[in-house]
Structure 1
C-alpha cells in the first residue's frame, strides 16, 4: 500500500471513521477548505434569483424567499474535492430537484443539468446525478446560512461527484438534452468526475 494511502487511512481511523469511505488519492480533513476561482461575489439575497430553463415545459424564476418556501430536505453527505481533501458528514439543507421538477416539468429528452453561477461559471452534470437523494440546491450548511466563502447565498451540492461540480453562487439551472462542458471541464477537468475512479483530469 502506498505511504500516502496508509497515512490517509490512519488519520481516518483516528477520527473514528471507516477508511473505506475515503476515495483513492484523497486525505481526510475535519475543516471545510475554501477554494474557488476569482473573488467572492457580493450577492444581495433581496435581488438574487434562480432561473430554471431549457428543456422544460415551464421556465421558472425563484427568489430567495420563494426557494426557501419550498419543501426542504436535510442531508448528511461526504464531500470530496479534486484537490484531494475529503470531509465526512457535512450537513446540508435545501431543496431537492424533485421539488423544482414539479415547477418546471422537464421534458423526456432532458438528460443533463448545466449549473450557472456568478462570474459566468458553469458546471455540467447528468440529470441523474442531480436527482440523487443527497443532491440539493443548498442554502444552509452545518446548521447555518450558507456563507459567501462557501457559495452562499445558494449553491448546488452534488455529492456523487468531485466537488467542483457543486457550483458555488448558483443563479441558474439549464436543463438540456445534450451535454455542455462546464468551466473546469473546458480546461481539462474530467467530464464525469467520479472520485472512486479518480476521474480528476481528462489528459
Structure 2
C-alpha cells in the first residue's frame, strides 16, 4: 500500500486520538507553530510537512511514555505515513529515548526546539502577564541559568541542537518565541 501524505486535519485527529491531556496538546500546537515558523524562515517549500511533524512529534507520549518515539513508528506505519515523517519524529528523541540521529535541517530544528518550547512556556508563565507577547530572549536566558527552574528541560540538547543548526543560541530562542507568539491564544500564553 502506498504511503499517504497526511493533511493537517488527519494529523490533528491522530494526535487527539492518542493524547487527551491539555498540556500535551498545547505543547504539540506550540511545536507545530515553531516548526512552521522555521520552515518559512529557511525558505522551505514543503512547510506543511514541517508543521505536521511538529504537531505529532509526541504522538505516543501520553499512552506509551516508556516507548516514546518507538511506538510512534508502529502507529504511523499502520497509518501508511511516509518514512521521512516517521524518521524525523523518531530523531527528536535522539540520546534520550532513541538512537535515531537528526540528519536533515527539519530534524535538527525539531530536536532543538522541542525542549526549548517547554522552557519558554515555563518562563512566560512566571511573568505577571503570563503572556509570551512581550517575552524576550534575555528573560529566557536568565531562567536558562537557573538549573532548578524547569529542571526537566534538557538545556544541553537545546545547545547541541543550535550548534547542529550552526545558529547562535540567542537567535534560536528568539525565533522559537516568534513561532510560539503566532499561536499564543491557542496555548494560553496570549
- Interval of TM-score (by shorter of Structure 1 and Structure 2): under 0.3
Provide the TM-score with structure 1 as the length reference: 0.25
